């Protein structure tokens, strides 16, 4: 079997890497709960039952969603960092899921 020239091998590797990145991007969709989506929808100025942006919501990083929830509940999304800091200080592991 003939070996590919280096430039063709590099091109194939690059294509495969792009394919794997696309697959990973599809896997990190979080599928947040309906209650969580309702909060984000309202933060975005949508009706709480308007599902037109749910795909975009499901693609948000967990930190962004948590900031929306804190903004809705406490009036300021900066509470997210404060609360995460408290949890870490108390020994909770609050690293983000989904490779983000």
Distance of CA 95 to the CA centre of its chain: 13
CA separation for the pair 54, 99 (Å, rounded): 20
- 30-69 burial, b if ≥16 CB within 10 A, otherwise e? bebeeebbbbbbebeebeeeeeeebeebbebeeeebbbbb
pLDDT in tens, 32-84: 999 999 999 999 999 999 999 999 999 998 999 999 999 999 999 999 999 99
Q: Supply the pTM of this predicted model.
A: 0.65
């Amino acid at each position: 079997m003939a070996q590919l020239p280096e430039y063709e091998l590099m091109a194939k590797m690059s294509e495969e890497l792009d394919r794997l990145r696309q697959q990973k991007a599809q896997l990190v969709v979080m599928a947040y709960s309906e209650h969580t989506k309702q909060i984000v929808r309202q933060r975005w100025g949508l009706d709480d039952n308007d599902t037109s942006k749910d795909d975009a919501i499901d693609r948000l990083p967990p930190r962004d969603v948590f900031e929306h929830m804190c903004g809705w509940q406490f009036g300021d999304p900066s509470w997210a960092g404060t609360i995460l800091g408290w949890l870490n200080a108390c020994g909770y592991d609050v690293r983000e899921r989904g490779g983000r």
